[in-house]
Amino acid sequence: MNLGAMYNPRPLPVASEATLGGIKVGKNLEIQDGVLSATAEASKSLPTATASKKGGVKIGANLKMVGEVLHATEPEGYADLKAAVTDLQARLVALEPKSKAK
């Protein structure tokens, strides 16, 4: 009996979330107990965020995230400063000479 002639391997199905199948393990990936996972090194690498592309940013002073968008916040004391400038502008307008009607 020729076992080689009887053995007819079938191709592996493509692996998916629900189907165990064949894959190639690439960079920053590992397999443990048949499960493919990203290594910690892969999760540290983010592209730099731009106006049109999502990416990694470091939140500094007077910045906050609203949903997925970075916004500037008013610094401490800004409201008081804004009120003082508005008041000063109103006082300067009051000091301007009035034009005389002829």
- Look up the pTM and report it: 0.32
How many domains are there within the chain? 1
What local confidence, expressed as pLDDT, does residue 86 receive?
A: 93
91 is a domain residue:
yes
Tell me the residue range of the domain where 9 lies.
3-95
Q: Are the C-beta atoms of 44 and 56 separated by less than 8 Å?
A: no
pLDDT tens digits along 34-62 = 888 888 765 567 888 888 888 888 888 88
pLDDT at 84: 93
Average pLDDT value over all residues in the chain: 82
Backbone angles phi, psi at 36, to 5 degrees: -85, 130
Measure the CA–CA gap between 39 and 89, rounded to whole angstroms.
Answer: 59
Q: What is the pLDDT of residues 14-26, one digit of tens each?
A: 888 898 888 888 8
The count of other CB atoms within 10 Å of the CB of residue 55 is: 9
In a domain, 100, yes or no: no
Residue 98 has pLDDT above 70, yes or no: yes
